[in-house]
Amino acid sequence: MIVNLKNPNLYNNRELSWLQFNTRVLRQAQDESLPLLERLKFLAIYGTNLDEFYMIRVAGLKKLFTGGIIISGADRLTPLQQLREIRKYIHQEQQVVEHCMKDVLKKLEHQGIFIKSHRDTNQNEKNLLKKIFKEQIYPVIIPIAIDSTHPFPQLNNLSFGLIVKLKDSDDETIERSGIIRVPRVLGRFVELGKGIYVPIESLIAQHVEDLFPGHTLIKYAAFRVTRNADLEIAEEEADDFMELLEEGLKLRKKGELVRLEVGIHSDDEIINFFNRHANIYKDDIYQTQTFLNFSALWQIVSNKDFAHLLPAPFKPRVLPPLDTSEDIFATLESQDILMYHPYESFDPVVQFIQTASKDPEVVSIKMTLYRSGTNSPIVQALMSASESGKQVTVMVELKARFDEENNLIWAKALEKSGAHVIYGIQGFKVHAKATLVTRRKNGKLKQYAHLGTGNYNPATSKIYTDMSYMTSKDEITSDLTRFFHFLTGFSKKGKLDELYMAPTQIKPKILSLIQNEARKGAEGHIIAKINSLVDADVIRALYKASQAGVKIELIVRGICCLRPGIEGVSENIRVISIVGKYLEHPRSFYFKNDAVQTYISSADWMPRNLVKRIELLTGINDEAARDKITQILKLQCSDNTLAHELQSDGSYIKVKKEEAEKTVNNHKIMEDFVIKVSKATTKENSPSTSELISRLFIES
């Protein structure tokens, strides 16, 4: 029987699949086996994720709907249908979120952490709060009357404050309304001594009469607004892209209102007053029974006095041969290096660039920067290299969402140091992660490369899992030279020989690799680890491979539009998502019958990555590195602690350990593994290859 692989019933909706991912984050917060502040941390992540989802995805769907555009993905849901399903999902989940929050907060009280409203504090605490209000809050708070002579103010994206209803103290028949804006320079919680936190709106409400003299408070509610934060930049009309981006960042604060959140004391009267001015659709208004802005919970999670309520910290290790290497360039001439962060430290990557910046024999450094973070040692090294006379070329992607402002700062600093800075390719984001160092050796030029699946950000490298590949192979470095020439020049071909570059090469290569396994039938085997799987052509290729009998194991952290387990279509496909201590971020692949077999990439299997971005896919020919990637992928496929398995109906079920099985928590196994390797290695007995590493992976 021939199956129509374009049938919309074979595809999960992208947005609803993302909501399922955020639910898996929420499940971590519900997991009673985790330390309490770890659970609170996942609530903070859940809230931050949902903020971005509304700012970008929901805002985009609203724009499509109001524009009368009926487009959809392979599932064929219209923008309006998606908006209805999204609102229904989030409203239903809100009760679960609030129950989880109350449970965590109640248990934290037994550990000495309290979130108290002003009325629940004792007299000494009230006296201290009064002093804090007078000295730290009153001078910067913004009370705003709203009437015929005081218009409703412009509220920036994620603005937080209080809606208040007041009565005239001299004439109680006169009622007035207003809002109190709480500037972001004020913390979400006022901290009283060790472990006592008071939501700032609770304190401000006690002093409303100081802010509106001659009036008495009738009622109040906290509010928070979300705006469309997606930047639209007409690059083809831009004479100065940096100036255009800076203007876009200002407009982001004033985008269309897409969500209103209101706090515990809200009622219809307060909401209707606010919404007469804001005009937010009723189903995009969320009333909470806890408090607003879960992302602010980081203020509590980061309290070092309660670090014992977090998982034991893990210190990344530098493994052989880099642990004893005094000359990184000589090491890369003798062998390739593949590192798995954060278990293996990101420090060697930083040191590679720092060493290159100081080495008098290095003549040039070329690099892509997508999200480098603040106070970046890598950018500082690049600036030093440029100032010392080296040729430094940096592709700073100014369109990295929510990092645009940070990247603007770095771009200007690099330019000032004398580096040649490229701001992007018109019509594309540059998402590839690559560094190329050119050095004199014995009168000739020798090149060294780093290719990664994640950003050049030492801070996030401690919490994101990613892979780094370092090599001096001429075939790789020659391709990277051409890659950087493509970025700085006008070439539209962009074809590489050993590497594969999107938008022209990666998707055809992925399809070819899948089709090659399909030709092998039951002898075929694919393992793919990605963050998101959306591209319909890739999904159909996987369906065909499954129909041919290929065993397909997919590790997809977030969005997955493919539906496994459908008879005659995808019964040979298994999809798991791993959510745990670390954010799973690598894109790595295993194709059993390919000559190279293993690959790493900066690209997810989404249309935006495969056809709308500049990305790189790297084949790993080195035997030890190839074995290492294969072992990591197989380890994750066997996880029965952190994994959730995707069902054919789009839902996820936590993978349960069978009674006879060993417990497999891939994060814990990897931590134990690198500790074991580092202890087994001494300066006198340091392996020159990764043989020991591969063997210990198998043992683990």
Q: Is residue 178 part of a domain?
A: yes
- Enclosing domain of residue 235: 112-280
pLDDT of residue 659: 79
Q: Identify the DSSP state of 318.
A: P
Q: Is residue 447 part of a domain?
A: yes
Per-residue pLDDT tens digits for 195-236: 999 999 999 999 999 999 999 999 999 999 999 887 543 434
| Strand 257-262 versus strand 285-287 pairing type | parallel
Report residue 285: phi and psi, to 5°. -105, 125
646 pLDDT above the threshold of 50? yes
249 pLDDT above the threshold of 50? no
Rounded-to-integer distance, Cα 572 and Cα 550, Å: 7
Per-residue pLDDT tens digits for 134-157: 999 999 998 999 987 788 888 888
- 327, with CB counted inside 10 A (0-12, 13-18, 19+), is exposed
Average pLDDT (601-609) is 96
Decide: 107 and 149 in contact? Cβ < 8 Å. Answer: no
Per-residue pLDDT tens digits for 44-64: 999 999 999 999 899 989 988
- The CB density around residue 16, as the number of other CB atoms within 10 Å, is 17
Q: What is the CA radius of gyration of the chain?
A: 27
Task: Please give the structure tokens belonging to residue 476.
Answer: 């790789």
Evaluate the omega torsion of the peptide bond into residue 503 and state whether it is cis, within 30 degrees of 0: yes
Q: How many domains does the chain have?
A: 4
Quickly list DSSP for 68-81: T-----TT---HHH
pLDDT of residue 294: 93
Rounded-to-integer distance, Cα 604 and Cα 431, Å: 10
Q: At which of 461, 488, 515 does a domain end?
A: 488
**Domain CATH code at residue 200:** 3.30.1840.10
Name the residue with tokens 């724009």: 63
Task: Please give the structure tokens belonging to residue 168.
Answer: 């005239």
pLDDT of residue 72: 78
Task: Please give the structure tokens belonging to residue 439.
Answer: 């050095």
Rounded-to-integer distance, Cα 502 and Cα 617, Å: 8
Rounded-to-integer distance, Cα 174 and Cα 632, Å: 69
505: helix, strand or coil: coil
**Domain CATH code at residue 68:** 1.20.58.310
Q: Is residue 142 part of a domain?
A: yes
Long-range contacts of residues 152-156, Cβ cutoff 8 Å, at least 24 apart: 152/277, 152/278, 153/179, 153/181, 154/254, 155/181, 155/225, 155/257, 155/278, 156/227, 156/253, 156/254
One domain, residues 93 and 134: no
One domain, residues 120 and 252: yes
pLDDT of residue 375: 80
Q: Which residues are bridge partners to 126 per DSSP?
A: none
Residues comprising the chain, all counted = 700
Report residue 401: phi and psi, to 5°. -55, 130
One domain, residues 81 and 119: no
One domain, residues 50 and 186: no
Q: Is residue 700 part of a domain?
A: no
Per-residue pLDDT tens digits for 72-84: 789 999 999 999 9
187: helix, strand or coil: coil
Rounded-to-integer distance, Cα 589 and Cα 529, Å: 6
**Domain CATH code at residue 588:** 3.30.870.10
Q: Which residues are bridge partners to 150 per DSSP?
A: 147
Q: Is residue 315 part of a domain?
A: no
Quickly list DSSP for 266-280: --HHHHHHHHHHH--
One domain, residues 267 and 392: no
One domain, residues 393 and 479: yes
Evaluate the omega torsion of the peptide bond into residue 348 and state whether it is cis, within 30 degrees of 0: no
Rounded-to-integer distance, Cα 28 and Cα 42, Å: 6
Task: Please give the structure tokens belonging to residue 133.
Answer: 């209000």
One domain, residues 479 and 334: yes
Of 543, 545, 539, residue with least CA distance to 566: 543
Average pLDDT (64-92) is 91
Q: Report the mean per-residue pLDDT for the chain.
A: 90
Rounded-to-integer distance, Cα 621 and Cα 593, Å: 14
> pTM of the prediction?
0.91
- 217, with CB counted inside 10 A (0-12, 13-18, 19+), is middle
Q: Is residue 540 part of a domain?
A: yes
Question: Given pLDDT bands bounded at 50, 70 and 90, which one contains residue 682?
Answer: low
Quickly list DSSP for 342-411: TTB-SHHHHHHHHHHHH-TTEEEEEEEES---SS-HHHHHHHHHHHTT-EEEEEE-TTSTT-HHHHHHHH
Q: Is 293 left (phi over 0), alpha (psi -120 to 50) or beta?
A: left
Name the residue with tokens 């290695």: 681
Q: Is residue 299 part of a domain?
A: no
pLDDT of residue 584: 96
One domain, residues 660 and 514: yes
Question: Given pLDDT bands bounded at 50, 70 and 90, which one contains residue 495?
Answer: confident
One domain, residues 163 and 251: yes
One domain, residues 90 and 207: no
Q: At which of 488, 510, 542 does a domain end?
A: 488
One domain, residues 473 and 617: no
Per-residue pLDDT tens digits for 610-621: 999 999 999 999
Which residues lie below 8 Å from residue 88, measured CB to CB, with a gap of 6+? none
Average pLDDT (109-128) is 95
- The CB density around residue 40, as the number of other CB atoms within 10 Å, is 27
One domain, residues 369 and 439: yes
Q: Identify the DSSP state of 58.
A: I
Q: Which residues are bridge partners to 344 per DSSP?
A: 317
Q: Is residue 126 part of a domain?
A: yes
Q: Which residues are catalytic?
A: 431
Q: At which of 90, 106, 122 does a domain end?
A: 106
Long-range contacts of residues 499-502, Cβ cutoff 8 Å, at least 24 apart: 499/451, 499/616, 499/617, 499/618, 499/619, 500/616, 500/617, 500/618, 500/619, 501/432, 501/614, 501/615, 501/616, 501/617, 502/603, 502/609, 502/610, 502/611, 502/613, 502/614, 502/615, 502/616, 502/617
386 pLDDT above the threshold of 60? yes
